[in-house]
Amino acid sequence: MRLSNFFIPTQKEDPTDAVVASHILMIRSGMIKQLTSGVYSYLPLGYIVFRKIEQIIREEMNAIGGNEFLLPALSPNELWHETGRLEDYGDTMFRIKNRELVLAPTHEEVFTSIAKPNLVSYKDLPKMWYQIQTKFRNEARPRSGVLRGRQFTMKDAYSFDATWEGLDESYKDQDKAYKNIFTRCGLDFFSVTACSGAMGGSESEEFMVESNAGEDIVAISDNGSYSSNIEVAVSFKDKIGRKNSNLNYEEFHTPNVKSIDELADSLNLNDKSRLAKSRVFVDPSKDENAKDEYILVLVCGDDEVNETKLQNLVSLAIRPGHPEELLQVTGADAGSIGPIGLKNKNVRIVADHLLEDADELISGANKNDYHIKNIDLKRDVANIEYHDLRVVKDGELTFDKKSKIKITKAIEVGHIFKLGTKYAEALGALFLDKDGKENPIIMGSYGIGVERIAAAYIEQNHDKNGIIWSGEIAPFNVHLISVNANDENVRETSDKLYELLSNKSLDILYDDRVDVRPGFKFMDADLIGVPIQVIVGEKNLKDNNIEIKIRRTGERIIVGREQVIEKVNELLT
Ligand SMILES: Nc1ncnc2c1ncn2[C@@H]1O[C@H](COP(=O)(O)OP(=O)(O)O)[C@@H](O)[C@H]1O
Ligand SMILES: [Mg+2]
């Protein structure tokens, strides 16, 4: 590709609205351009990279027997209503105003609707179907460029099996394919146990790239035996236990105490574990005539409520109560809520396991500016349930006590689920088994974000000058620079090299621009980040030499003009 004829609008300055490296560098290197919040145009350079990633994904999907489809982005409301997801997706789904259509955020429903009339016997199973297609999600906070967009490309695959063992095999095949894909894309990745709640499945695994630009938080053990999304992570911790002092509970005045920290300060306490943190959540009723359910959640004062664990326990729709609701249900504002003396007697009370049967607790009195001390949950709070509801913290022991947990940020690049029969049941996708009995098809679903892989790669592979591509997803193998294209010898030598290198079936980006300063060309080359730069300059050429620069290390090698091809080949293998 001749740069004189290739649209790469590189920028010297960082865009003002970009924070993370991949976003900044994708804009600066002319890979993408924002159209509106969370929506990007893919410029020629970016599109080359995205297509290379798609090709790797395609090859690995085909290798496990995948059939490639292309389904429409538009799909009828009716279909989504049948599985309940028209309602469940809420505002994240884009809806068309003048037709009963949505822009699909994923394709379980549509694929299942194709399976339904076609996969009708155990003889038709198993099947592995996939597509690489544009998804639409009305993300509340699109950010970090293509890392979280409102329109993005996903490879989504769906397995259809007759047996649960079959599903295990399909899931294992995808797991293996994902590992191949991320390895071939040059990512340093790991997998974690994930939450499958929203999809309604049993087992699920996310593929993660450790990065500060990530929005996921993961718990990894030092010995590598445990890794989990924080949403479902567990650790080993002793219960805070009973002191058995048998003191009666009593209210005390706590003016201006609005938080656990302020409460601990006012009592001169370092250990906050017995300051029970109380939060009120609402599970909105699905039925207009039914009442919303209120849930009071108790955790130790130095812990946080894990909202995903709470969702898994209660319902996906559960949300924190609004200030007016808190007042109405408890009689107090957020800082003074507790399990004793709630205004509404029908509140469901759930506490974290660490508090099981604890006594001498301090919590809000459900009366502003008052707290209660010496609460004994066993004695004083009826119908309390205990569940694992806390967020695991850095430095805690793994559940098997063999290792320590580290908490870190990561980018989710892929996600695989065992869906089970949720979609087949909702849509009536049944098959006849060997005994002539009708059963719902057992499904799995497997997603990868194409642009997100590119962004995650850049997060892991860049320096202050730009991107550092390598391997299969590099947009080009060689960046050939004609330093001063006005010089006849330089131009002719470069042209010749371009031809020779292209004949070796390498992808060459050839900076043949005239009237562009050498410094500018070098800066562009480092910014775009092609692995090898072949620099044809007047000075070296006088001695019949050419310079090769390795982008990642900055190492420069001078070779005779006849040795260039050989050297480039050697460096690329
Ligand atoms: N808004 C987005 N922008 C870019 N890629 C996304 C976005 N949402 C999801 N992806 C990609 O698609 C894959 C599958 O998505 P999925 O697990 O359904 O999404 P989520 O975890 O956000 O609910 C993710 O692992 C990620 O790589
Ligand atoms: Mg996911």
pLDDT digits (tens, 9 = 90+) for 373-428: 999 999 999 999 999 999 999 999 999 999 999 999 999 999 999 999 999 999 99
Q: What pLDDT does 573 receive?
A: 85
**pTM for this model (two decimals):** 0.93
Nearest protein CA to atom 12 of ligand 1, as residue: 449
Q: What pLDDT does 504 receive?
A: 85
Q: Place 197 in a pLDDT band, splitting at 50, 70 and 90.
A: low
% the chain with pLDDT above 70: 99
Averaged confidence pLDDT in the chain: 95
Distance 415 CA to ligand 2 centre (A): 5
Does the C-beta of 155 come closer than 6 Å to ligand 1?
A: no
- pLDDT (mean) for 53-59: 98
Question: What are the tens digits of pLDDT across the range 282-291?
Answer: 999 877 788 8
Residues less than 5 Å from ion ligand 2, measured at CB: 415
Nearest to 497 by CA among 528, 536, 462: 536
Nearest protein CA to atom 10 of ligand 1, as residue: 449
What gap in Å lies between CA 552 and CA 326, rounded to an integer?
Answer: 56
Q: In sequence order, what are the residues at sequence separation of 6 or more whose Cβ sits closer than 8 angstroms to the Cβ of residue 488?
A: none
> Closest ligand 1 atom to the C-alpha of 105?
18
Distance 191 CA to ligand 1 centre (A): 15
Relative to the alpha carbon of 454, which ligand is closest? 1
Q: Are 512 and 429 in contact (CB under 8 A)?
A: no
CA distances from residue 286 to 13, 109, 316, 324, 378 in whole angstroms, order as listed: 51, 22, 12, 21, 33
Q: Are 157 and 446 in contact (CB under 8 A)?
A: yes
Distance 225 CA to ligand 1 centre (A): 26
Q: What pLDDT does 396 receive?
A: 97
Q: Amino acid identity of 519?
A: G
Q: Place 196 in a pLDDT band, splitting at 50, 70 and 90.
A: confident
Q: Is the pLDDT of residue 370 over 90?
A: yes
Q: Mind listing the domains of the chain with CATH numbers?
A: 42-233+407-458 (3.30.930.10), 250-387 (3.90.960.10), 476-572 (3.40.50.800)
Q: Are 336 and 362 in contact (CB under 8 A)?
A: no
Q: What pLDDT does 87 receive?
A: 86
% the chain with pLDDT above 90: 93
Does the C-beta of 107 come closer than 6 Å to ligand 1?
A: no
Q: What pLDDT does 201 receive?
A: 65
Does the C-beta of 106 come closer than 6 Å to ligand 1?
A: yes
Q: What pLDDT does 198 receive?
A: 61
Q: Residue with structure tokens 């994240």?
A: 92
Q: Are 532 and 571 in contact (CB under 8 A)?
A: yes
Q: What pLDDT does 143 receive?
A: 85
Q: Is the pLDDT of residue 535 over 70?
A: yes
Nearest protein CA to atom 3 of ligand 1, as residue: 148
Q: What pLDDT does 199 receive?
A: 63
Does the C-beta of 137 come closer than 6 Å to ligand 1?
A: yes
Q: Place 223 in a pLDDT band, splitting at 50, 70 and 90.
A: very high
Q: Place 89 in a pLDDT band, splitting at 50, 70 and 90.
A: confident
Q: What pLDDT does 200 receive?
A: 62
